[in-house]
A and B are shown apart, each in its own frame.
Chain A
Amino acid sequence: MASVILSARGLTRHFGGLRAVDGVDFDLQTGDIHALIGPNGAGKTTFVGLLSGRIPAQSGTIALAGEDITRLPAHARVKKGIAYTFQITSVYPRLSVFDNVALAVQQTATRDLASDVAAALSRVNLADRATQTAGTLSYGHQRLLELGMGLALRPRVLILDEPTQGLASGEIANFKQLVRSLAPETTVLLIEHNMDVVMDLATRITVLAAGRHLATGTPSEIRANPAVQDAYLGGHDASA
């Protein structure tokens, strides 16, 4: 059995009366590509926000490779190896593509910034756009840029919030290939509505519904799980 790199116990976050994340237990196995799915508003973004430290937890604990990081601020968690890409694309639109990635690369022990940035850019096929202003890239390229920034941090855990949203099908194929190439050095936690991507990539799947943990298992186990089918059929999943 593989080791657990990131785990959560009883993780909770309410917004007023709304139980966005409600006592979730969760284990991320080292080297997995783990998909997090659930209907809109299930609490997926909030949940990974708690893991990455963007949102403070109300109760529960989070551990990275056995170390309690519940009280650690977000930037310190990134330094420890948890990288995060936003559901709503978040790059530096007025800076060059080079500077965007350099800001990630210079956070690692780098000797030669320029060549490391070039390497990071070619991983996401953006090498020829280094001097372009990021805001002028197409939407798909901006998502790739953000992914490239996350990868350039050389994280142990990479959290991707709906990375394929708005991508063309050719871009999605490239994306799948890229994510597959990350394993097993980088563990990937992937929020995804596109079930083809999930079933293709994921080695394990967790389902959230209404802030609660519903099921975890292999793709075939999840497909066969009646509770999951209920949640999806009863819920309002728009984009599956």
Chain B
Amino acid sequence: MRIWTLHLFTLAVLAVLLATLPPYHATNLARILVLAVFAIGYNLAFGYTGLLSLGHALFFAAGVYGAALPITYLGLPQLPALVAGLLAGGLVAGVTGLLALRTAGVSFMIVTLMFAQAGYLTLLYFGPVTGGDEGLVLPDAAALLPGLSADVARATIAYALFSAALLSSLALVQSRLGRTLVAIRENEDRSRMLGYNTFAVKLTALVLSGLFSGAAGAAYALLFGYAGASFATIQYSILPMLWVLMGGAGTVLGPLVGTAAMFYLVDIAGSYTTATLLFVGVALVLLILFAPKGILGTIRERWLTWLP
């Protein structure tokens, strides 16, 4: 009970913030919420199932282009394009998983990295279609919800998507499937000898993770009116990992906390230096050295053991 209360309360606070903050900050928050959906997806694979992927940029970019290409070339309306992006993320994750999940550990990391790199290069190779590094400009966010201003439409869609992602991920990790994912992370051999087809379960986790990532990519492209190959660069695989590590791997609210914390950290740093990625690097090293459980992971360990 208190679990659902906590999460619904978080959503209520976010709604109030979105409604009352000045437009610049509300737009930042919308951006954080969409990126947090990406982090939630990453967390399903890494935090719960123990699949440390370095290729999630590919799933995010699949969402970006799964939405952007049909809009640009087929004139698909915005909301169906969002669904197309979500499905594209899941599909690409499934294909990747079928191959990459034949490996584990370090090999899995490198294979996913290589797939994402190949995906990025492919986007460049088909530059005339994808816009390559220059990218494609998409219609304004106002086109998403006719009748509303771009700012309001953006906030509404970001909020709806994040709420759906947060609550479905909460339901998922509390379900039998969620318990199974954790079991595979904790002891794959034992899980196999309890009759779990561990390959199939891991593939399921990766596809779910890809659906979240794809939805986030599609929403990001639609809300901010831009699709580009840069979304497939390694940086977009590292960032969700960083957000999840920061917020707490294997916690439901961790992705939101980590994404927000890192966003404002880089934002503040950006007013002092152009080398903002320095902070990404320093944060990664410090986290892995001193707080591998992240913010919420540490809080759960010390105080709130019931936190999902």
Which A positions have Cβ atoms within 8 angstroms of B? 52, 54, 73-76, 78-79, 83-84, 86, 90-95, 99, 102-104, 106-107, 113, 149, 153
Contact = CB atoms under 8 A, between A and B. Distances in A.
A107 B191 CA distance: 11
Contacts of B194: 78, 103-104, 107, 149, 153
Interface string B177-192: 0011011001101111
B192 A103 contact: no
B193 interface: yes
Which one of B180, B183, B190 has the greatest number of beta carbons of chain A within 10 Å? B190
Contact of B193 (A52, A94, A102): A52
A57 to B, nearest CB: 17
A106 B180 CA distance: 9
Contacts of A54: 189, 192-193
Given A75-B195, A75-B197, A79-B195, A91 B190 contact: yes
Contacts, number: 60
B276 interface: no
A95 B193 contact: no
A75 B199 CA distance: 10
Q: What is the predominant secondary structure among interface residues of chain B facing chain A?
A: helix
18 contacts: A52-B193, A54-B192, A75-B195, A76-B197, A78-B192, A78-B195, A86-B189, A91-B187, A92-B187, A92-B190, A93-B186, A95-B182, A99-B179, A99-B182, A99-B183, A103-B194, A107-B195, A107-B196
Interface residues of B, number: 17
Interface of B: 176, 179-180, 182-183, 186-187, 189-198
A94 B195 CA distance: 20
Which one of B186, B190, B193, B198 has the greatest number of beta carbons of chain A within 10 Å? B193
A103 B193 contact: no
B179 A102 contact: yes
Contacts of A149: 194
A200 to B, nearest CB: 27
B183 A92 contact: yes
A96 B192 CA distance: 19
B189 A103 contact: no
B187 A90 contact: yes
A-B pairs, 3 with minimum CB distance:
A78-B195, A92-B186, A90-B190
A74 B197 CA distance: 9
A58 B163 CA distance: 52
A103 B198 contact: no
Contacts of B179: 99, 102-103, 106
Nearest to A110: B176
Contacts of B192: 54, 74-75, 78
